[in-house]
């Protein structure tokens, strides 16, 4: 992407809120891939001329002084998500708080009326650059998608919110609890059309509660162009165990040898073993010590039985799986307000003295105005 397209892209990703000039410099400095030009005084003046002359961009003046935050530099990946919540960019509640000043900074011949220094002296951080609707939408969906796709207002607001987060993404639990203040079920349907059209991606995300005692599972939403596989510690360890066993003859090894290779604590190793066994990647087997180590001295117990060594045998190689998604994703578990996932209702028996249609209607009616997910309904009627 050329420098001018990168500048327009950063403005467009900020959505209808727009971006101030000082914040634009921060965004360009932290842009990935790196912005090709050095942001010195001459380059900034050149970029200002581009902003003014571009007809797809307009300049507005906010009634309130905007706050400029530094981007998340020098932070570890594990802390960027939490720090992002603390450093939200200032958002104007309505567009009515701004007035269009494009005619004061741009001539009819698309030449600047004022320099960058004069504009900052006159408007300061109240100067906001906003991209047009078509440019914003194209930047959000990417060049490979159809710009004629129609989205409802709620889905577009969600798309713009996720796009503003760029590489950090947005947690679905935080969106429905803080930003949109809506039920998790509604947010699920808001994101459904975005997933179906391939605008955003989903992946599992685990955060630890402030108390430090409980893990909260949620879904991380990112634009497709910013998708990054954020793998958990156990994903990496499971892959290491799988690769280690795959290279050994017979594809098995002792538990002690694997633990020494991983160099992890006992509780961590037990959890890795539990996850791999639950996924049917490995199985636990026992072999006599004399078969594994013919030079061993004590191969029998005091009772005269052979000493058995616990070993892990690889059943199938580890393959990473993302968050499952398809067009009919109504049947996935919903999130509650704490970010945890709720399981379906247990299956209930069928009452033979009532017809099936009446019983099905009673189940839907008893769920109230919030409705009932399809997977819960199927769980209720699974034994009919």
Is 310 in a helix, a strand, or coil?
Answer: strand
* pLDDT tens for each residue of 245-295: 888 888 888 888 888 888 888 888 888 888 888 888 888 888 787 777 777
Give residue 27's pLDDT band: very low, low, confident or very high (50, 70, 90).
Answer: very high
Question: Is residue 311 predicted with pLDDT exceeding 60?
Answer: yes
- Of residues 216 and 161, more confidently modeled: 161
pLDDT average, residue stretch 201-216: 74
pLDDT at 383: 58
What pLDDT does 214 receive? 65
Least confident of 163-167, 200-204, 244-248, 328-332: 328-332
CA distance 281 to 277: 6
DSSP string, 134-152: HHHHHHHH-TTS-TT----
pLDDT level of residue 80 (50, 70, 90 thresholds): very low
Ranges of each domain in the chain: 3-141, 146-231+333-341, 233-314, 343-384
For residue range 166-178, what is the model confidence (pLDDT) as tens digits? 888 888 888 878 8
Least confident of 272-276, 328-332, 374-378: 328-332
The mean pLDDT value of the chain amounts to: 78
pLDDT of residue 26: 92
- Within 13 Å, how many C-alpha atoms sit on residue 204's CB side? 17
Q: Which fold has domain 146-231+333-341?
A: Arc Repressor Mutant, subunit A (1.10.10)
Note the pLDDT of residue 124. 86
d(CA 294, CA 245): 21
Looking at residue 353, what is its pLDDT? 58
The reply to whether 146-231+333-341 and 233-314 are identical in fold is yes
Residues 6+ apart with CB under 8 A from 203: 219, 220, 222, 227, 229, 230, 322, 323
3-state secondary structure of 3: helix
Distances (CA, A) of 207 to 81, 213, 314: 9, 11, 30
Reference 247, options 257, 235, 233; nearest CA is: 257
CATH number 1.10.10 given to 233-314: yes
In the predicted model, is pLDDT for residue 75 greater than 80?
Answer: no
Q: Please state the φ and ψ torsions of residue 228, each to the nearest 5 degrees.
A: -135, 130
Task: Give me the pLDDT at residue 324, please.
Answer: 43
Q: Has residue 339 got a pLDDT over 70?
A: no
């Amino acid at each position: 992407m050329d420098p001018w397209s990168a500048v327009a892209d950063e403005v467009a990703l900020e959505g209808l809120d727009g971006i101030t000039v000082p914040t634009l410099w921060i965004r360009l400095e932290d842009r990935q891939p790196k912005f090709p030009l050095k942001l010195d005084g001459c380059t900034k003046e050149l970029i200002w001329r581009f902003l003014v002359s571009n007809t797809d961009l307009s300049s507005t003046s906010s009634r309130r002084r905007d706050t400029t935050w530094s981007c998340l530099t020098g932070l570890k990946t594990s802390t960027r998500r939490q720090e992002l919540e603390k450093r939200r960019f200032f958002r104007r509640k309505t567009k009515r708080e701004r007035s269009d000043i494009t005619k004061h900074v741009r001539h009819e011949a698309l030449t600047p009326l004022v320099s960058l220094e004069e504009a900052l002296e006159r408007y300061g951080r109240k100067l906001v650059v906003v991209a047009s609707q078509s440019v914003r939408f194209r930047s959000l969906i990417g060049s490979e998608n159809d710009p004629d796709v129609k989205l409802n207002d709620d889905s577009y607001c969600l798309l713009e919110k996720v796009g503003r987060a760029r590489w950090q993404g947005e947690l679905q639990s935080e969106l429905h609890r803080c930003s949109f203040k809506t039920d998790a079920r509604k947010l699920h349907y808001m994101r459904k059309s975005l997933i179906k059209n391939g605008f955003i991606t989903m992946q599992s995300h685990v955060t630890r509660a402030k108390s430090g005692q409980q893990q909260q599972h949620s879904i991380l939403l990112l634009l497709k162009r910013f998708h990054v596989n954020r793998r958990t510690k156990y994903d990496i360890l499971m892959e290491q165990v799988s690769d280690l066993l795959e290279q050994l003859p017979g594809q098995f090894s002792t538990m002690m040898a694997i633990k020494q290779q991983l160099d992890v604590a006992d509780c961590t190793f037990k959890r890795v073993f539990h996850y791999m066994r639950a996924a049917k990647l490995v199985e636990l087997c026992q072999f006599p010590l004399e078969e594994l180590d013919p030079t061993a001295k004590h191969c029998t117990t005091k009772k005269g039985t052979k000493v058995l060594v616990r070993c892990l045998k690889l059943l199938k190689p580890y393959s990473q799986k993302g968050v499952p998604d398809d067009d009919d994703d109504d049947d996935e578990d919903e999130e509650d307000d704490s970010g945890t996932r709720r399981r379906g209702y247990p299956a209930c028996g069928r009452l033979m003295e009532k017809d099936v249609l009446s019983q099905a209607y009673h189940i839907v009616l008893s769920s109230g105005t919030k409705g009932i997910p399809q997977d819960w309904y199927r769980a209720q009627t699974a034994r009919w």
